[in-house]
Amino acid sequence: MRLFVATHNRHKIREISQILPGFEIVADDPVGVEETAPDFTGNALIKVRAIAARHPGEWCMADDSGLEVKALGGAPGVRSARYAGEPTDTAANNALLLKNLEGVEDRTANFTCAVALVDPNGREHTVEGRCYGRIALAPSGAEGFGYDPLFIPDGRDKPFAELSPDEKNAISHRGRALAEAVKIIRGKKRGGVMAWLRLFRAVNLPTVPGDVFVGAAAALTTGGLAASPWLDLGWSARFLSPVWWAAGASVFLYMFGLVHNDIRGAATDKDRPIPDGEISMDAALAAATACLGAAGLCAWAGGLLAGGLWSSVSWPRYALLLVVAIVSYNRFKQWWMMGACRALNVVAGAAAAGAVNSRVLCAAVIWWAYISLVTLYSDGEESDPAKKRSVGFLVGAIVYLQLGALVMLALAYPNVSGIRPLLIAGAVMLAALRLMKQLLPRVSAS
Ligand code: IMP
């Protein structure tokens, strides 16, 4: 992972590279930037903001550090580099420090390092690390830089300059601050549940099985009912019916499509979990493969459980067609291809329920037209809040149409208990959708 670091100090770059071995450290000197803040964190922020402006969409980092000596009221503090005046002269700084501490008994001191990060979304994070110790009576050692020959960390009897780089990094202020910074970067990189919910646009997912249920409903009201034995199964077996497995396969294929789309756009998309670094490319590829596998498994399991029925519903054929439609949509971004994906769900649902007839195909064409037109209309919604609202309404209408289809079914067949799980699924889907829209607005961003 690439990390731009605001410094020209090669010692710091070396230390940072040692402490963060998995990162590609790119130094960027924030030339001309005045470190005018009264504290380390303020100065780190000034520096990181200067370079973040040059590297949008990347992780950027700056640190500001210094030595604080108790007997000197916290000096040299933010002026550590220029303690003996400008330009920076390390030997002069050390000599001045020793001079100012002549005859002083309490030589307690600490190094402080503030790290400021700007994440690929432009959000700022700050952390601090400290290392406590004391100032030696005379310099010794050749490792490190700056005040290292004079600073003896607590628990040791020799200064930083006599410790190996690894020994210093394990206890140093910079080592500690960077360990915290890495937690932020990796924490974001690994992403939490939220990152995965965003990747799978969780708010929109429940509408996918809805397509399949609409197809099943259309089939059951137009001849599928008699032909389909699945409504006559017991309660638990009903949940093993091909319709549920078709719905599962559709959901997994849709999830595959979303990851595939984000992988394709990883270099150009903004505010998505992969370019944000919240989900790594490897994890995304693994997720895409897992979704494809799970979809295949659903189709296979559905066929296995349905036995004779499955051979007639030919769901796997629809799954394959769906993969082609999804990949084509991601590649060509044609509005009518999105409609085709969703219409295929309807046909698959009808097939799983046992009847693909002309009325089912009619429903699929209407579904295709509606979703295609909404997709066409939604172009440019990001920059137009009014359009975004109406697209939200039109997309919401799909869910109501799905529920409507289920309610119609229940009314048409009041005695068919098998409708109930469909209705419950629809209601849960709608409730989940509404709740998620309210609770997780970022998840719905597409
Ligand atoms: P800056 O963080 O580049 O503004 O400069 C910090 C200054 O504090 C350095 O030039 C050093 O004089 C001192 N300093 C910061 N960290 C260390 C360290 O690990 N060892 C020795 N001196 C340090």
- Kindly give the number of the ligand 1 atom that is closest to the alpha carbon of 144: 20
Nearest CA to ligand 1 atom 5: 81
CATH class for domain 2-186? alpha beta
- Kindly give the number of the ligand 1 atom that is closest to the alpha carbon of 83: 12
Is 276 a catalytic site residue? no
Q: What is the pLDDT of residues 12-30, one digit of tens each?
A: 888 888 888 778 899 999 8
Contacts 24+ apart (CB under 8 A), 271-275: 271/121, 271/445, 272/198, 272/199, 273/191, 273/195, 273/196, 273/198, 273/199, 274/199, 275/57, 275/120
* Catalytic choice (28, 63, 64, 148): 64
Is the pLDDT at 230 greater than 50? The verdict is: no
Confidence tier at 205 by pLDDT (50, 70, 90): confident
- 229 upstream amide cis, omega within 30 of 0: no
Q: What is the mean pLDDT of the segment spanning 385-409?
A: 77
Domain with CATH 3.90.950.10 in the chain: 2-186
3-state SS string over 182-246? HHHHHHHHHCCHHHHHHHCCCCCCCHHHHHHHHHHHHHHHHHHHHHCHHHHCCHHHHCCCHHHHH
pLDDT for 352 equals 78
Mean pLDDT, the chain, integer? 83
Of 41, 79, 80, best ligand 1 pocket probe by most atoms within 8 Å of the beta carbon: 80
Of 110, 147, 152, best ligand 1 pocket probe by most atoms within 8 Å of the beta carbon: 147
Q: What is the pLDDT of residues 321-367, one digit of tens each?
A: 999 999 999 999 898 999 999 999 998 888 877 777 888 899 899 99
Ligand 1 neighbours, Cβ below 6 Å, are 9, 64-67, 80-81, 93, 111, 144-148, 160, 172, 174
Nearest CA to ligand 1 atom 11: 146
Q: What is the pLDDT of residues 138-181, one digit of tens each?
A: 999 999 899 999 999 999 999 999 999 999 999 999 999 998 89
Angle, alpha carbons 14-19-23 (nearest 5°)? 85
Between 428 and 197, the more confident residue is 197
Strand partners of residue 142: none
Return d(Cα 41, Cα 34) in angstroms, integer.
14
Q: What is the pLDDT of residues 398-419, one digit of tens each?
A: 877 777 766 665 665 555 555 6
CB 66 within 8 A of CB 79: yes
CA of 112 to the centre of ligand 1 (A): 9
CA of 19 to the centre of ligand 1 (A): 16
Is the pLDDT at 47 greater than 50? The verdict is: yes
Nearest CA to ligand 1 atom 22: 146
Q: What is the pLDDT of residues 71-117, one digit of tens each?
A: 999 999 999 999 999 888 999 999 999 999 999 999 999 999 999 99
Nearest CA to ligand 1 atom 9: 81
Instruction: Write down the residue that tokens 């429903």 correspond to.
Output: 363
